[in-house]
Amino acid sequence: MSTFLGLPTRRRGTPTTDGPLGPVPHPDEPLRWGATFPEAARAALGDAQLRRNLGHATSTIRAKRAAVVGEVSDWEALRDAGSAVKGRVMADLPALLERLEQNVTARGGVVHWARDATEANRIVTEIVQAKGVDEVVKVKSMATQEIGLNEALAEAGIAATETDLAELIVQLADDMPSHILVPAIHRNREEIRRIFLERMGDAPADLTDAPRELAMAARAHLRRKFLAAKVAISGANFGVADTGTLAVVESEGNGRMCLTLPETLITVMGIEKLVPTYDDLEVFLQLLPRSSTGERMNPYTSLWTGVTPGDGPQEFHLVLLDNGRTRALADDVGRAALHCIRCSACLNVCPVYERVGGHAYGSVYPGPIGAVLTPLLTGGAPGEGLGHDDPNASLPYASTLCGACFDACPVKIDIPSLLVHLRAREVDADRDRTVPSGWDAAMRAASVVMADAGRFALAEKAAVVGRVVAGRKGYVRRLPPPLSAWTSSRDLPAPARQTFRDWWRDEHEAPPGGNVLGDGVPGGGTPSTVPDSSAPTSTAPTSSAPTSSAPTSSEDER
Amino acid sequence: MSARAEILAKVREALGADPLEVPVPREYRERGDLKPGSAAVVELLVDRLVDYRAHVHHASAADVADVVATLLADAGTVVVPDGLDASWLGALPAATTVLHDSRSAPQPVEALDAADAVVTAARVACADTGTIVLDGESDQGRRAISLVPDVHVCVVRTAQVVHLLPEAVRLLSAHPARPQTWISGPSATSDIELQRVEGVHGPRTLHVVLLGA
């Protein structure tokens, strides 16, 4: 009966906790790991420390973002422009890619094309090996996370050091990132202190958990690596087709170190990260920092075009990565997910992400955008569903469809509509299954009951018995199979003590003056407080609602 | 088929026969209300820089050398790009070692690491976002010199201050291929519990000298 909601629950390997410090071992597939979302979410919700860390971090960043977005009078016009520019990029992608390649090449860069993760990793590994080094420094990059580059380099005997503070924390802990922007958002300062002391090797013994001290320990640890590095690897936030210019947006200066000091720079960029003209940067460099870190501008942005003689790396390689992007592009609704500029605003406003954290999504792209991007990138044939047995098929259900992500998205990706589209795709993919699912059976049974007034009345009466199961708490946590499929992912409110039919009969057929309203309404008024017998039908439920729902909704700030 | 040909073919196939024309509305502000170089636009820039915890100093042509010298009073070794206005360094104490750097005669990275400070000019500054842009010309130098030393003294002429980002971008787009560094305050991180800490890998101290007419 695991298929009651059309929601796949097949396990993909057993979730483990045997990582030395991190809860997540390194996956073979960075876009498909861990338990399914419903299972992983249940486990994450039981971790009080994780929820505290996430609640604090997401509420802090939401407030910062709201303040700096609120002061921009033309924010909506910037979003409209950003959305349209990205739409144009997708429509004109082949010509823009060729133009970028031509301009990077003309300025002394070397452009490589990679169909998938394996090919991209092979290209990067060969370049590093040709330089004769076994150590590289890395700028935080989603694209290289997505292809599992660090693991591929390690297999070839090349040590890749992450230099972004949060990525360093994640790497030292042998953990996985849980947020696009702040990969160690699930860690608090005391946990970070412990990770540094146990794993960094040169952390001061008297290190405290003050963020400043922790940051200075990272500075000292990485300084020598920066000055000695021969090869650096980065991603790119934007690539300008018209000029061949690439942009990396960062805060700490680790990006500048990697992009400037080594002799060789390798940049891995998804084919969708283009903008047509240099001037288009005026839109995105306003949208990105305010949406991302909640700053008017991030501390450092680096722009470079090929090789500049005498300044910075004298050898530059650009790896253009497909890895499922053309598959996503073939879905004419889903392709809007490729507009994403990886700001992570949608994660910070999502009531689901805030409670379960990033690991539950089983992909390096978590949160609302991850719930659409991951299934699109990893799907089967273009435009078709993943199929019932693919755990990523459950990701579009990891949402309440509240719409907060759409409002926050700087390039106006309609994530809720994409989620619904992808749910439909999965349901359609399941239609030709020969064994009827629990969902089909339940719908058929409901149809029989609801088509006949007498049968429906009987069913209503039977449901009242459910109050016994619910007990004093007023909701049902677990029902026996097959109904357990419903309660496995949500609580069921207790049925009302009185059915609507009974209430109507009492109201309209009972002797005048009879009290019918107190019944079934906890704390409902006595007859003396209910002067008009028709009014309380609307007031009584609303007056009781806040008391019954408060315990579950008090943390939700939205 | 090569990876290039295959990816481009898949993109074309995904898009279908006739790709959409997508018009781009540009209703956003391309120009601010504050005039470049005006007192109001400079005041806005100062507000932003102070918010980022950069140190702001005002100077005129007559006293810029004194202001720079005061800021570098404790610096034994100072790196400068070879195209820097020499008069800005006119009041440095005789004991200060000045290392000149250029693309043709670069200082080794160890020398930059051992230096106490760097002095550069800038290309343009955007008041709205508190951003100063260096574009690698000879008065701003190689990207490494404004990165490795721990103190960066950046002299911005007030005439270079514009109000909004599109104004700065359109000025920079005359030479898009120049290597650019956009600086908005000192290096910072918010990776630990979203608490901002200034000074990680880039210069931990940023002095901005606003040079008036």
CA distances for A156 relative to A61, A127, A143, A168, angstroms? 39, 12, 19, 21
A319 against B193, higher pLDDT: A319
pLDDT of A445 over the 90 cut: no
Model confidence at A545, pLDDT cuts 50, 70, 90, reads very low
Does the CB of A555 have a partner CB in chain B at under 8 Å? no
Distance, in Å, from the CA atom of B134 to the CA atom of B150, rounded to the nearest integer, reads: 17
Model confidence at A32, pLDDT cuts 50, 70, 90, reads confident
Does the CB of B18 have a partner CB in chain A at under 8 Å? no
Report the range of poorest mean pLDDT among A441-445, B25-29, B33-37, B40-44.
A441-445
Does the CB of B171 have a partner CB in chain A at under 8 Å? no
The pLDDT, as a whole number, for residue B160 is: 98
Distance, in Å, from the CA atom of A401 to the CA atom of A346, rounded to the nearest integer, reads: 12
Contacts of A436 by beta carbon, 8 Å cutoff, 6+ apart: none
Domain locations along chain B = 29-187+194-211
Record: contact A81-B28, CB cut-off 8 A: yes
Residues of B in contact with A90 (CB under 8 A): 15
The pLDDT, as a whole number, for residue A442 is: 75
Q: In percent, how much of chain B has pLDDT > 70?
A: 99
Record: contact B169-A311, CB cut-off 8 A: no
Residue (of B111, B105, B124) closest to B164 by Cα position: B124
Distance, in Å, from the CA atom of A282 to the CA atom of B166, rounded to the nearest integer, reads: 5
The pLDDT, as a whole number, for residue A259 is: 98
**Position of tokens 């953990």?**
A175
Of A73, A254, A296, the CB nearest to B130: A296
pLDDT of A533 over the 80 cut: no
pLDDT of B121 over the 70 cut: yes
pLDDT average, residue stretch A526-554: 40
Distance, in Å, from the CA atom of B83 to the CA atom of A252, rounded to the nearest integer, reads: 28
| Contacting A residues, span 395-454, partner chain B, CB-CB under 8 Å | none
Q: Which of A257, A265, A326 to mutate to test the interface with B (most CBs of B within 10 A)?
A: A326
* Helices B3-15 and A93-106: angle between axes, nearest 10 degrees: 150
pLDDT average, residue stretch A337-362: 95
pLDDT of A153 over the 50 cut: yes
A166 against A380, higher pLDDT: A166
Contacts of A507 by beta carbon, 8 Å cutoff, 6+ apart: A516, A533
pLDDT average, residue stretch A8-25: 43
Distance, in Å, from the CA atom of B158 to the CA atom of B209, rounded to the nearest integer, reads: 9
Size of interface A-B (CB pairs under 8 A): 256
Q: Is A145 helix (H, G, I), strand (E, B) or coil?
A: helix
Distance, in Å, from the CA atom of A488 to the CA atom of A397, rounded to the nearest integer, reads: 14
Structural domains of chain A sorted by starting position, each given as residue range(s) with its CATH number in brackets:
1-71+346-433 (no CATH), 72-323 (3.40.50.10420), 438-543 (no CATH)
Q: Is A160 helix (H, G, I), strand (E, B) or coil?
A: strand
On whether the CB atoms of residues B78 and B72 are closer than 8 A, the answer is yes
pLDDT average, residue stretch B19-23: 80
Token pair listed for B100? 């000149």
Average model confidence (pLDDT) across chain A: 85
pLDDT of A428 over the 50 cut: yes
pLDDT average, residue stretch A95-100: 98
Residue (of A507, A509, A203) closest to A517 by Cα position: A507
CA distances for A449 relative to A39, A400, A445, angstroms? 32, 28, 6
* Helices A281-292 and B165-172: angle between axes, nearest 10 degrees: 130
pLDDT average, residue stretch A414-439: 82
Instruction: Indicate the Cα dihedral angle A479, A484, A490, A492, nearest 10°.
Output: -30
Residue (of A372, A431, A421) closest to A398 by Cα position: A372
The pLDDT, as a whole number, for residue A23 is: 59
Q: In percent, how much of chain A has pLDDT > 70?
A: 84
Residues of B in contact with A245 (CB under 8 A): 176-177
Record: contact B179-A312, CB cut-off 8 A: yes
pLDDT average, residue stretch A208-214: 94
Record: contact B144-A326, CB cut-off 8 A: no
b/e string for A336-368 if b means 16 or more Cβ within 10 A?
bbbbbbbbbbbbbbbbbbbbbbbbbbbbbbbbb
pLDDT tens string B59-106? 999 999 999 999 999 999 999 999 999 999 999 999 999 999 999 999
Of B8, B24, B197, the CB nearest to A212: B197
The pLDDT, as a whole number, for residue B176 is: 96
DSSP states along B125-191: EETTTTEEEE---TTT--GGGGTSSSEEEEEEEGGGEESSHHHHHHHHTTSTTS-EEEE-SS-EE-T
**Position of tokens 């008009």?**
A532
pLDDT tens string A292-345? 999 999 999 999 999 999 999 999 999 999 999 999 999 989 999 999 999 999
CA distances for B15 relative to A226, A279, A384, angstroms? 43, 25, 16
Q: In percent, how much of chain A has pLDDT > 90?
A: 59
The pLDDT, as a whole number, for residue A530 is: 40
Token pair listed for A27? 């996956």
Model confidence at A510, pLDDT cuts 50, 70, 90, reads low
A252 against A4, higher pLDDT: A252
Superfamily of domain B29-187+194-211: NagB/RpiA/CoA transferase-like (3.40.50.10420)
pLDDT average, residue stretch B160-168: 98
Residues of B in contact with A53 (CB under 8 A): 193
| Contacting B residues, span 103-122, partner chain A, CB-CB under 8 Å | 103-104, 106, 109-110, 113
Residue (of A523, A422, A511, A555) closest to A59 by Cα position: A555
pLDDT average, residue stretch B32-46: 98
Omega prior to A38 cis, within 30 of 0:
no
Model confidence at A180, pLDDT cuts 50, 70, 90, reads confident
Distance, in Å, from the CA atom of B186 to the CA atom of B206, rounded to the nearest integer, reads: 5
CA distances for A274 relative to A90, A94, A341, B146, B174, angstroms? 9, 11, 10, 28, 20
Model confidence at A460, pLDDT cuts 50, 70, 90, reads confident
Does the CB of B173 have a partner CB in chain A at under 8 Å? yes
pLDDT average, residue stretch A463-480: 74
The pLDDT, as a whole number, for residue A135 is: 96
On whether the CB atoms of residues A328 and A357 are closer than 8 A, the answer is no
Distance, in Å, from the CA atom of A242 to the CA atom of A223, rounded to the nearest integer, reads: 36
pLDDT of A232 over the 50 cut: yes
The pLDDT, as a whole number, for residue B190 is: 85
Distance, in Å, from the CA atom of B81 to the CA atom of B67, rounded to the nearest integer, reads: 19
| ipTM exceeds 0.95, yes or no | yes
Report the range of poorest mean pLDDT among A488-492, B6-10, B151-155.
A488-492
pLDDT of A451 over the 70 cut: yes
The pLDDT, as a whole number, for residue A21 is: 58
pLDDT average, residue stretch A195-219: 93
Report the range of poorest mean pLDDT among A248-252, A427-431, B169-173.
A427-431
